[in-house]
Amino acid sequence: MDFENFIYNGQLLPEYCDSIGIHIQVIKNFYRRLRRTLKHKKKSNEELLTYILDNLDDLIKRMKYKLWYHNMPLVIWCQINTKYSYDTLVSIISIEQEKYPGRTVDDILDEFYANEHRRSISD
Say what the pLDDT of residue 94 is: 86
**Could you give the CA distance from residue 3 to residue 100 in angstroms, rounded to a whole number?**
40
| Residue 72 pLDDT greater than 90, yes or no | no
Asked whether the beta carbons of 23 and 15 are under 8 A apart, the reply is no
| Residue 52 pLDDT greater than 90, yes or no | yes
Asked whether the beta carbons of 63 and 21 are under 8 A apart, the reply is no
Q: What percent of the chain is modeled with pLDDT above 70?
A: 90
Name the phi and psi angles at 60, rounded to 5. Answer: -65, -40
| Residue 121 pLDDT greater than 70, yes or no | no
Tens of pLDDT, residues 55-70: 998 887 776 567 889 8
Q: What is the pTM of this model?
A: 0.57
Q: Name beta bridge partners: 8.
A: 11
